[in-house]
Amino acid sequence: MTGSAREFVVEADGGSRGNPGPAGYGAVVLDAATGETLAEAAEYLGVVTNNVAEYRGLLAGLRAARELDPDAAVHVRMDSKLVVEQMSGRWKIKHPDMKPLAAEAARVFPPGRVTYEWIPRADNKHADRLANEAMDAGARGEQWSPSTSTADLDTGDVVGVPATRGTAETSGEADVRAAKAVASPGWGPPDMGAPATFVLLRHGETPLTPQKRFSGSGGSDPSLSPVGREQAERAAESLARRGTIEAVVASPLARTRETAGIVAARLGLEVTVEEGLRETDFGAWEGLTFGEVRDRYPADLDAWLASPDAEPTGGGESFAATGARIAVTRDKLVTAYAGRTVLLVSHVTPIKTFLRLALGAPPESLFRMELSAASLSAVAYYADGGASVRLFNETSHLR
């Protein structure tokens, strides 16, 4: 590469409405010095996963850059942490649908000619718009072309429903206005970008689980039992088949870190530990059954069942305190993983609290949810602060 070689910036994105579902990608090539748009590409892909669509967007952007100048240096900017880390060589690629796409992308330019940078979704609006235009065109039975771009409509906004949300709009300005009003879950506007989606995995069984003993963050910190490890393996296989997880975050306790490690190894990801995902501290009740607590601390138990502000005997953590901790942790993670799908490996009370807060349910709802070991639940969080519960206590992978 000579000193006079051109320099391009490629911004790429992909999305799937349903994951897997109707999908498309968008890519744009910019002049690195002036910011001028040199080329655009978008395509409706049919039904594929979000990650595959993102890789297809990357591949299209690199090919467009090569057509402009095969000797150029290219800096890729994407809001997919998964693609950026895998293409940079820091994360392994294990998913069979992504391996060939990544290999093909690596061959477009010689090694060392392409660099990668993760950017927030808000900074990737051009490629995101193109991806949504491609999905909108596909919903109309068309393929995307610059002449069908919805950016030219006199609406003041991009009109595509964001990836993984809602259904596609019909054509016509009246339908566009209606789609803006009601197309997405929660009746929110359809132009907020893809949500941060938390897939909530309860850890596998420990020796205390089948005995129904209180096991919080102040007890013996047990590891998984053989049954629990098998449950974690089955959850890992199920999540690998879905192919949507981009990061794994776990509570610091042994049983969650072990569960997360099994899943992350199968997905080719690393585990990040988040203190806020730990289980409630049950104080003097740690290791006891409900009946044993009833016998030993009847007044404290009655108070605990009656009020979220009551603490377990011995200075444990109240449900109100757990709720405040989870709300802070939720906001922190929504910001960190905006527009991405992340697996949170946690415990009964934190996962129920995520769901309770998303639903706006009262504290007593915690006593009305059944959450099995190694079960999966999911909540999506949108840019306007809204949330949508998508899955609760899914255990089919364990059968």
Would you name the residues annotated as active-site residues?
Answer: 203, 279
Q: Give the span between the Cα atoms of 65 and 60, in whole angstroms.
A: 9
- CA-wise closest residue to 332 among 276, 256, 271, 264: 276
DSSP letter, residue 198: E
Q: Give the span between the Cα atoms of 154 and 133, in whole angstroms.
A: 15
Those residues with Cβ within 8 angstroms of residue 8's Cβ, 6 or more apart along the chain or in another chain = 29, 30, 31, 32, 38, 65, 68, 69, 72, 73, 74, 75
Q: Which residue has the tokens 């415990």?
A: 347
The tokens of 277 are what?
Answer: 């995902």
Residue 20: cis peptide before it, omega within 30 degrees of 0:
yes
Say if residue 315 is exposed, middle or buried (CB neighbours under 10 Å; 0-12, 13-18, 19+): exposed
